[in-house]
Amino acid sequence: MHKYIGNIIRFNRIKAKKTQQEVATGICSISHLSKIEKGVYLPNQETLHLLLERIGKKINFEKDQHQRLVKLIDDFYYHWSYSEVSQMKSTFEMMEKEESHYIVSDYLNRYLLAQLAYELNEKNYEKAESLLYNLDNLEIMSNADMSKFVVLKMSFLNKYKDSKKAAEYAESNEDLIVSDDKAEYFYQKGLIYSYNISPSLSLIHMNKAYESFGKGTNFTRMITCKSVMAINYSRLGLMKEAEKEYIELLRMLSKFRNENMLHETRYNYGIFLKNANRYDEALVVFKSCEQYFSTKEEHQCLLILAMWETKLHLNDLQEEEILEFTSSFKNSASKCKLHKKYLVYADLMILKSKKNEKEYYRLLETNYLRLIEKENSYIE
């Protein structure tokens, strides 16, 4: 926390083109300001107010200012939990404009937690890690804030560190979760166990999350729970249960009218059908996604790869078509920085089509299997 406030003062001092002497004069010594900026000292409220005003951060609380600060945070978490990305971003931008007020209010911890949630959503690893460090070193945090912190740290560990560490952290901190965060806790736990640890445990926690989100009518999270459940049923070889989930998902999404989630679910259903060797059905489903995915580079690459593999199984591709596809796919994949495993997978399919078993298994063992240990292959 000391370092966070120090960084804000230093950043805005430099932005205002003021020296430490200009800012410190009449408030504190230059050496004291230097230590504040380095995070060694945490200034008292009076000194903090004066320093912020000196660097151009006005902190006069207007009528209903406190209610506004709280409402912004509440609105942000609402949009975050419902995956309303554009609304979440615009709300966060408004929160950033109020940063100086948050710093000197009782809502600083909640603001920092919202910032952490935002950076995780934006996949800004370094910023998220820095915020986690600052929050982890807080001496005082309310039960509600600590609960939110645990849930967000679970997500961070799962995405950027290690799923097993994330699972251990989740298990050891379950007693810190308050009732308002139970659904999100089970949801994050379900995602953690889904990532190459235990599909059966993922199903248990996703079921709990689905039921909890249903009570609050969070339809977006309910859909994601169903999607992860379908994938894990498939991993366990429970194909009837998996297909039942996909059919239910598509039915729900047709009413929800969310085109993005509908087509991503169709894609995942196509992958399910392909893996079940139902290639004709899979190809029909993939073709229904073509037009929508044409404007989404990464999704389009994955769709093309899935269709190509399906046609390969149906013996519906000539060697010239395979070579033409490979060149086109790799060009598209490099533009959208597609994960390396998909490029290797494309090479595997070429070897498979040429019935070059020796090279196929060499590439499979040396490259592909190592790459998929770190990442799932479905669209989130």
Which has the higher per-residue pLDDT, 209 or 339?
209
Q: Is residue 67 very low, low, confident or very high in pLDDT (cuts 50, 70, 90)?
A: confident
- 87-91, 283-287, 315-319: segment of lowest average pLDDT: 315-319
pLDDT of 41 higher than 90: no
pLDDT of 274 higher than 80: yes
The position carrying tokens 């000292």 is 41
Give percent of the chain above pLDDT 70.
78
Q: How far apart are CA 318 and CA 309, in angstroms?
A: 13
Q: What confidence score (pLDDT) does residue 238 get?
A: 93
Q: Is residue 189 very low, low, confident or very high in pLDDT (cuts 50, 70, 90)?
A: very high
pLDDT of 357 higher than 80: no
Q: What confidence score (pLDDT) does residue 204 get?
A: 96
pLDDT of 367 higher than 60: no
Phi, psi of 330 (to 5 degrees): -65, -35
- 65-79, 128-142, 170-184: segment of lowest average pLDDT: 128-142
pLDDT, tens digit, 9 for 90 and up, residues 281-310 = 999 999 999 888 877 777 777 887 788 778
Give percent of the chain above pLDDT 90.
32
pLDDT, tens digit, 9 for 90 and up, residues 135-176 = 887 667 889 999 999 999 999 999 888 889 999 999 999 999
Taking residues 82-105, what's their average pLDDT? 86
Q: What confidence score (pLDDT) does residue 261 get?
A: 85
pTM of the model: 0.73
Q: What confidence score (pLDDT) does residue 310 get?
A: 85
Q: How far apart are CA 156 and CA 112, in angstroms?
A: 15
The string of DSSP codes covering 62-131 is -TTHHHHHHHHHHHHHHHHHTT-HHHHHHHHHHHHHTHHHHHTSTTHHHHHHHHHHHHHHTT-HHHHHHH
pLDDT of 376 higher than 50: no
Which residues are CB-neighbours of 229 under 8 A, at least 6 positions away?
202, 203, 206, 207, 210, 245
Q: How far apart are CA 121 and CA 83, in angstroms?
A: 9
pLDDT of 208 higher than 90: yes
Tokens representing residue 283 in the block: 């190809």
Q: Is residue 370 very low, low, confident or very high in pLDDT (cuts 50, 70, 90)?
A: very low
- 52-56, 171-175, 181-185, 266-270: segment of lowest average pLDDT: 52-56
Q: What confidence score (pLDDT) does residue 40 get?
A: 76
**CB atoms inside a 10 Å sphere around CB 351:** 17
Q: What confidence score (pLDDT) does residue 337 get?
A: 58
Taking residues 101-126, what's their average pLDDT? 87
Q: What confidence score (pLDDT) does residue 47 get?
A: 83
- 74-78, 154-158, 328-332: segment of lowest average pLDDT: 328-332
- 150-159, 272-281, 310-319, 369-378: segment of lowest average pLDDT: 369-378
Q: What confidence score (pLDDT) does residue 115 get?
A: 92
Q: How far apart are CA 72 and CA 87, in angstroms?
A: 11
Backbone dihedral region for residue 351 (phi beyond 0: left; psi -120 to 50: alpha; all else: beta): alpha
pLDDT, tens digit, 9 for 90 and up, residues 7-35 = 777 777 887 888 988 888 998 888 888 88
pLDDT of 355 higher than 60: no
Q: What confidence score (pLDDT) does residue 300 get?
A: 78
